[in-house]
Structure 1
Amino acid sequence: MRKSVIKFSLLLALAAMTSVTMAALKEGDAAPDIKAQASLSGKSFTYSLKDALKKGPVVVYFYPSAFTGGCNIQAHGFAVNHEKFQEAGATVVGVSLDSISSLNDFSADPDYCAGKFPVASDIDGKIAKSYDLAVTETPAGRKDTRGNEIDHGRAERSTFIVTASGKVYAAIGGLTPEQNVAKALEAVQKLAASKTAKL
């Protein structure tokens, strides 16, 4: 009896995880606009996805919190591959529930964003929720890699490749930070190649 209860509980937990992953926007969906305070190289400004899309596809990546292990790795990955994304005609923006003051530091840090791309502050989680992502509370007492307590919620790690027409070309989730960056780069390169083939 106990085994069947445990098995049922595991199935419920798996179903819950699957529903969160499946809830995110999918290929072909319209990407909600993003207009938020953001930081680039330590300087804050108003970021507009609509304006960014005028220049070409945008990689919109959501991450739990600046200055945490996986998010540091992911930001560094996007920074070191920045030119490759540019070559594919794409720009990158990170989105988290961090305050703009924290993102000013994160965006300028040479080990992470390194001033290569902006990071936007979704302090109330509305942007993440508009992309149908789960937003959860950070457990009390959790600290970042600088030793500061994390005082905000967190969005699940997910990346969306948005075409210039505002549609989701690819939705990437459930991967390690390194795999997430690699998959995003692969997607924008594939998108660029498909456009070239049509010319």
Structure 2
Amino acid sequence: MPVLAASFCIISLPSLNRPAHAALAEGAKAPNFTLEGALAGKNITFSLRAALTKGPVVLYFFPAAFTAGCTQEAHDFAAAADQFKAQGATLVGITAGNTDRVAEFSKVECRDRFAVLADPGALTAVLYHSVNTEHQTLLSQRTSYVIAPDGTILLSFTSNNPEQHVAETLDALKKWHNNKMQK
């Protein structure tokens, strides 16, 4: 695995000045992953496959813990955590920036409401086409996904405006539930 990560970084360096590429499309299958992170400041291991057995997953990538936009986004998601829970969804954030601080970020900024996962080297962000290559280091692009229990991506939303992500993901969950009820 370290060889893959090193190879990726070498290959990616010439492309650092290009804009980030498009996120995975709605209707695509979400790549499975397992990452270490924290919930309420306590270390956890998160598996997408395991989380999907419980219901839909709202997965949001953010650039770096304890930066202004990412802190605001974490506060917004934390404030809406009960709404996600009411929709039966697991909410989780992923970052490639400041990965050594995810435990603190989960407690302070996510207010113990949802897990935050560390993505060193942005390898999971690469799988999800959610990498911002406009910086000298690889960071996660601000992209949110809603993933159905069968692994289908219901929403793929990219915006630098952190305030829109909660509304977009909640709306996608509600639409999915309504469609499920009509069948």
- Shorter-chain TM-score tier: 0.7 to 0.9
Query: Are 2:114 and 1:117 equivalent residues in the alignment?
Result: yes
Change (3 A) 1:197 1:175: farther
Q: Distance in 2 between matches of 1:175 and 1:153?
A: 16
Would the aligned equivalents of 2:38 and 2:102 in 1 still touch at CA under 8 Å?
A: yes
Q: Distance in 2 between matches of 1:177 and 1:72?
A: 9
Report the AA paired with residue 173 of structure 1. T
Query: Are 2:14 and 1:29 equivalent residues in the alignment?
Result: no
Query: Are 2:166 and 1:181 equivalent residues in the alignment?
Result: yes
Tell me the CA shift for residue 162 of structure 1: 0.6
The structure with the largest alpha-carbon Rg is 1
Secondary structure of the residue aligned to 2:27 is coil
Secondary structure of the residue aligned to 2:78 is helix
Change (3 A) 1:39 1:98: farther
Q: Distance in 2 between matches of 1:58 and 1:45?
A: 17
Secondary structure of the residue aligned to 2:64 is coil
Task: Trace 1:81-92 onto structure 2 (pairs within 5 A).
Answer: 81-92=80-91
Tell me the CA shift for residue 197 of structure 1: 2.0
Would the aligned equivalents of 2:96 and 2:139 in 1 still touch at CA under 8 Å?
A: yes
Q: Distance in 2 between matches of 1:37 and 1:71?
A: 19
Q: Structure 2 regions of 5+ residues with no counterpart? A: 1-17
Q: Which residue of 1 aligns with 2:7?
A: none
More strand by percentage? 2
Report the AA paired with residue 116 of structure 2. V
Q: How many residues align?
A: 166
Would the aligned equivalents of 1:44 and 1:100 in 2 still touch at CA under 8 Å?
A: no
TM-score (norm 2): 0.85
Task: Trace 1:1-199 onto structure 2 (pairs within 5 A).
Answer: 17=19, 20-21=20-21, 23-98=22-97, 100-109=99-108, 112-136=109-133, 138=135, 153-198=138-183
Would the aligned equivalents of 1:103 and 1:119 in 2 still touch at CA under 8 Å?
A: yes
Q: Distance in 2 between matches of 1:131 and 1:197?
A: 30
Change (3 A) 1:92 1:192: same
* Amino-acid identity (%): 36
RMSD across aligned C-alpha pairs, in angstroms? 1.7
Tell me the CA shift for residue 98 of structure 1: 3.6
TM-score (norm 1): 0.78
Q: Distance in 2 between matches of 1:171 and 1:137?
A: 20
Q: Structure 1 regions of 5+ residues with no counterpart? A: 1-15, 140-151
Secondary structure of the residue aligned to 2:120 is coil
Would the aligned equivalents of 1:128 and 1:135 in 2 still touch at CA under 8 Å?
A: no
Tell me the CA shift for residue 136 of structure 1: 2.9
Report the AA paired with residue 167 of structure 2. A
Would the aligned equivalents of 2:56 and 2:146 in 1 still touch at CA under 8 Å?
A: yes
